[in-house]
Structure 1
Amino acid sequence: MTVDESAPGPGAVRPGGRTARVRTAVLRAAGDVLAERGFAHLDLADVARRADVGKTTVYRRWGTATGLVADLLLDMAQQSVPRADTGSLLGDLTANARLVQRTLADPRQGALFKAVITAPTCDPKAADALHRFYAVRVEEWAGCVRQAAARGEVPEGTDPHEVIRATSAPLYYRFLTTGLPLDETAADRAATATAAAARAGAYTRDA
């Protein structure tokens, strides 16, 4: 579950100085467009105008809307909050679920995530970028399940990636398919259910 960075895509370099400021401005503008209008309306010329950057610069560096989304997802993965280490599986999963809940419940972040989640349905390269983003985030949090296994909280052979996916899956489902509020109660319920299932052996590789 690691990201292969041997062949970075457009905009994947992490430069300094003015180039870094341009990248920051463009990615911020791209996120605004995605949150406001969705992937289908992500236009590089519009992003350049919002970022106060020359169109040539944006087209030369990112090339396509998909290239821009890929770099935005890379940046989001790099800027994400590190995983918790509370000393218990339930505490760690609760921290994970509450982080997901806060992100999706935030008006701008929620709209942005909805845009990048739906983009892959019409663009294979966007799908690959999204898969890479979540591979990084799931692997970051998988460590808490490995620690739980070492403490004897879950059976040997528990798949850490499946446990982390199972924790956030109900929150994404509620977010994408209902108009119900996404609150801490929903987050805590998801974490509690996943921790109980993991302790019962539901996520062992044999299962």
Structure 2
Amino acid sequence: MATELPGTQRPGGRTERTRLAVLHATLDLLAERGYSELTVDAVAERSGVHKTTVYRRWKSAEGLVAAAFHLGTEDDWTAPDTGSLAGDLYEMLAELVGYFTTPGMRELPTASILAAFQADLAAGALHDFYQDRHARCAVITTRAIARGEAPSGTSPDEVVRAASGPIFYRLFISREPLSLDDARLAARAAAAAAAAGVFVA
């Protein structure tokens, strides 16, 4: 069940513009400063919204970050469709690699992961974001089953976890260089494991 967060409703009109201004300012400052140096006052100044309004709606920096993470569940992202399981997983991972390694982009996702270790609301919101992504990626596995690339009962969540795991391991555990070749290898390995029935419940 998704975490109930203040300031995540989409009211429309001026109120919605205010919400988006505040949450985008939060993400900008999170990427620039990190969670430990993020303040409500700084977000209010960056967004041009009076700090009384920001405090009233989001309560704290933690509330702001959690609500900002929720924005990721409102986008129109869809899973790739290349015609093969390995191809779909590779395209998904290539996007992930680019997001976490490209200067000017990597700062926000990295700061978001770190914030989740420092604030419970942020952790819950990040969990909800990835649950949303899992749900959107499920079609990758259901298509693979329909094509005969994986047996019936293969878990879509486990396929995504197996494919993504090596990427996050290199990013945050071993701190090794990360390239599209690593994405291709992880995709092929996860597809082969799926074909072998490893992820059947």
Do they fold alike, i.e. is TM over 0.5? yes
Partner of 2:170: 174
Give the alignment of 1:81-160 within 5 angstroms.
Answer: 81-160=77-156
Judge conservation of contact 1:159–1:203 (CA < 8 Å) in 2. Answer: yes
Unaligned runs of 5+ in 2: none
Query: 1:27 and 1:108 mapped to 2: Cα distance?
Result: 18
* Letter aligned with residue 136 of structure 1: D
- Residues 81-90 or 44-53, more deviating: 81-90
Report the RMSD for the aligned CA atoms in angstroms. 1.7
Percent identity over the alignment is 44
In structure 2, the CA distance between the partners of 1:80 and 1:167, relative to structure 1 (3 Å rule), is farther
Moved more, 178-187 or 114-123: 178-187
Secondary structure of the residue aligned to 2:165 is helix
Q: Decide which of 32, 37, 42 is 2:28's aligned counterpart.
A: 32
* SS of aligned partner of 1:109: coil
Tell me how many residue pairs correspond in the alignment. 201
Map Cα deviations across residues 111-156 of structure 1 (whole Å, 9 max, x no partner).
Answer: 2112221222232222211111100001110111012112221122
1:158-197 to structure 2, matched below 5 A, reads: 158-197=154-193
Deviations 1:25-67 (A, max 9, x none): 2122111221122111121111111111110111111112222
Is contact 2:69-2:122 (8 Å) kept?
A: no
| Aligned partner letter, 2:21 | A
Question: Does the 8 A contact of 1:35 with 1:108 survive in 2?
Answer: no
- Distance in 2 (CA, whole Å) between partners of 1:126 and 1:44 is 15
- d(CA) in 2 for partners of 1:101, 1:26: 28
Q: How does 1:41-52 map to 2 (within 5 A)?
A: 41-52=37-48
Could you list the runs of 4 or more consecutive aligned residues of structure 1 that deviate by over 4 angstroms after TM superposition?
Answer: none
Q: Give how far 1:178 is off.
A: 4.5
Counterpart of 1:124, as a letter, is: D
> Residues 28 and 108 of structure 1: is their aligned pair in 2 closer, same or farther, counting only changes over 3 Å?
farther
Distance 1:106 1:16 in 2: 33
Q: TM-score, with normalisation over the residues of structure 2?
A: 0.92
2:74 match: secondary structure:
helix
The offset of 1:183, in angstroms, is 2.3
| Partner AA of 2:150 in structure 1 | V
Which ranges of structure 1 fall in alignment gaps of 5 or more residues?
none
Residue aligned with 1:58, SS: helix
Structure 2 distance, partners of 1:109, 1:80, is 19
Contact 1:29 1:47 in 2 (8 A): yes
